[in-house]
Amino acid sequence: MRSAILSALTVSATAVSAVTYDYIVVGSGPGGGPLAADLSRAGYSTLLIEAGGDEGLNPTYDDIANFNEAANDEATRWDFWVKHSDDPVRDLKFKHNTWDTGAGTFYVGLDPPPGAKLLGIQYPRAGVLGGCAMHNGAVTTLPQDDDWNVIVNTTGDVSWEAGKMRRYLKEIERNDYLAAGNPAHGYDGWLSITAAPDVSWAKNDNLTGTKILKEVARLTGQDVSKVADLVSKDILEDVPNRDQVTSFYNMAQHSDSKGKRSSPNNYVRATLAEKKYPLTLKLHTLVTKVLFSNSTDGMAKAPPRAIGVEVMEGASLYRADPRSVPGGKGPVSQIFASKEVIVSGGAFNTPQILKLSGIGPRAELEKFGIPVIKDLPGVGERLADNYENSLLALANQTVDLPGLITMQFRTPSAVGKNRNFFTWCGNFIFQGFWPGFPGFAGPTQFTCAMLHIGPKSQSGSVRLRSADPRDVPDINFRFFEHGGAADLHEFVEAANLLRESWLAAGAPAAPFEELHPCPGRLAKGRAECSDAAQAEYFKTQVYSHHASSTAAIGGDNDPLAVLDSKFRVRGVNGLRVVDASAFPVVPGAFPVLPTMMISRKAAEDIIADAKKAAA
């Protein structure tokens, strides 16, 4: 049924007319795509604008196993070249810095050829219907309760309480790995979520992977006799004190039981295919700014109101697109919204669009000659992300592990009681992003990827390079600027714990030859380098791909708050932001599911306001 619906639907980028819609949604990713579908299903005429095309039927994107190929594909890839700090010397130590050789190729590494131009650290995003949910690994997790409750604590809006937010998971979820009727899950939503069905390997004590699994259990205080059950534990479970539990889990993904990606692309296309909802999709259309009307209310001047958007039509106009042509441009026109404009461009593009529209720090806007609609200093600030890195080794023989060892755990020095790391170990390699990633270390490669939950530093920024909407902004994460020593110490603790578990592999897989962070043969459970050396490695080699918080929700007393708790941009009317930039902190380990959850919450808020206004 799914294939029939999608194949019968033809979506094209027709010329934008001057028609007026109830709502305009800018960006079709995890925030904007579901929101546009929900608004139209509620009966409101909605225009969804996407700068990229549609690859929903392309196996590179549709088959979840091809996610690495999808993230490398020029058909959708937007290359953001970012900085990790204000120290260029430190950033040049990053082993996967990318350089333009001038010959149509990239050089990746520490010793570029003469004349090569430094591009920076690649941070690929997806310019395509469905956004980054179309090229990611589809890992599906929930934020910690504290990540929801911080909004309650700063705004007073109790609708964000963690216990209430699960409702939005249940509304969008079509659970495909648990028996129907589990009260923690939904079974009729648009988002398929599945998990590996066969974990029988964990019952075979002769497997090298099972030996490592049991040693990890012992080191983290789990019941070694129950590991075969723990590896299939529901990572989206709803239990008391969930965030304090160190445990193995399943690796849930937003895909179906046939290995097909489930994303906003499917939901938007299905909504269009039913042909009974007032949803219009415009592809290959770059939004250049939001339009405002300075209306008056009696004698007092009312706040500026968003009334539409200006767009430029054409493929590959944005210069993050590797297919972009220098000087390329398309026809410019305007489209209008009678109710609201919702910006859902993601943590990089949303603040850029807001600033180009006159919403942002006054000094920055005036620097580029952009008329100031509203001075909001927080736009583009507080950029945050999880820190990621890995232990990589070559085993003496391929590790016999048919699946993944997935675990969330707490290191001894973590602040508070919550777990602070997500790890997945197996016969793969993942070392961050560069053109052509993930690389290959050999048939015996073995990795424990580590993702740090709840980074203490939120000091990054997204700032304009020019007033040209086709230019890519200047992005600097400023990793470890605040609380860096503590974060690095936690990383070292996590690495030391996971490394020790590898000793249990035994011959013939052992001994392991570690490639990083501590090159050398692993023996006696000790790293071949000091904790200080490991910390320095992590400081220079961490990477990330879960950017958030550049247009964050905050309280009235927060000078850097961009949104109120209903996603409304402060100081103007008719404008909201619904994407990962709205989170005041990084939402847990992987932001894609929480972003789709707040998309449903935003639809509820917007529809409630529309009904109230019409009453």
Q: How confident is the model at residue 5 (pLDDT cuts 50, 70, 90)?
A: very low
Question: pLDDT per residue over 536-547, tens digit each?
Answer: 999 999 999 999
Q: To which H or E segment does residue 220 belong? A: none
Per-residue pLDDT, 104: 83
d(CA 593, CA 610): 26
In sequence order, which residues have a C-beta less than 8 Å from that of residue 279 and are 6 or more positions away?
Answer: 36, 37, 40, 46, 48, 268, 271, 272
d(CA 492, CA 412): 11
Q: Mean of the pLDDT values across residues 114-131?
A: 97
Q: Is the peptide bond before 511 cis (omega within 30 degrees of 0)?
A: yes
Residue pair 573/304 in contact (Cβ under 8 Å)? The answer is yes
Please check whether the domain covering 2-6+18-61+133-150+264-380+550-614 is classified as CATH 3.50.50.60.
yes
Q: Nearest CA to 138 among 29, 255, 267, 260?
A: 255
Q: Mean of the pLDDT values across residues 399-415?
A: 96
The partner residues of 334 in beta bridges, in order of sequence, read 310
Per-residue pLDDT, 569: 98
Length of the chain equals: 615
Q: Which residues are annotated as a binding site for FAD?
A: 128, 136-139, 287
Question: pLDDT per residue over 417-474, tens digit each?
Answer: 999 999 999 999 999 999 999 999 999 999 999 999 999 999 999 999 999 999 999 9
Per-residue pLDDT, 6: 33
Q: Which residues are annotated as a binding site?
A: 128, 136-139, 287
d(CA 446, CA 441): 9
d(CA 305, CA 293): 5
Q: Nearest CA to 141 among 595, 604, 611?
A: 595
415 pLDDT more than 50: yes
Segments making up each domain of the chain, as ranges: 2-6+18-61+133-150+264-380+550-614, 86-124, 197-231+387-452+480-541
The partner residues of 194 in beta bridges, in order of sequence, read 253
Per-residue pLDDT, 295: 54
Q: Mean of the pLDDT values across residues 385-407?
A: 97
Question: pLDDT per residue over 495-523, tens digit each?
Answer: 999 999 999 999 999 999 999 999 999 87
d(CA 71, CA 128): 11
User: What is the bridge-based pairing of β-strands 173-175 and 191-193?
Assistant: parallel
49 pLDDT more than 70: yes
Q: Mean of the pLDDT values across residues 291-305?
A: 74
Cα dihedral: 432, 33, 7, 5 (round 10) = 130
d(CA 379, CA 29): 20
Residue pair 435/78 in contact (Cβ under 8 Å)? The answer is no
317 pLDDT more than 80: yes
Lowest mean pLDDT among 13-17, 170-174, 410-414, 508-512: 13-17
- Burial class from Cβ neighbours inside 10 Å (0-12, 13-18, 19+) for residue 225 reads exposed
Residue pair 356/288 in contact (Cβ under 8 Å)? The answer is yes
Q: How confident is the model at residue 302 (pLDDT cuts 50, 70, 90)?
A: confident
Written as six digits, the tokens of 437 are: 């990633």
- Mean pLDDT of all residues belonging to the chain: 94
Q: Mean of the pLDDT values across residues 106-116?
A: 96
- What is the share, in percent, of the chain residues with pLDDT greater than 90? 93
Question: pLDDT per residue over 256-279, tens digit each?
Answer: 999 999 999 999 999 999 999 999
297 pLDDT more than 70: no
Planar angle of CA 613, 359, 124, nearest 5 degrees:
105
526 pLDDT more than 80: no
Written as six digits, the tokens of 15 are: 């010329």
Topology (CATH) of 197-231+387-452+480-541: Cholesterol Oxidase; domain 2 (3.30.410)
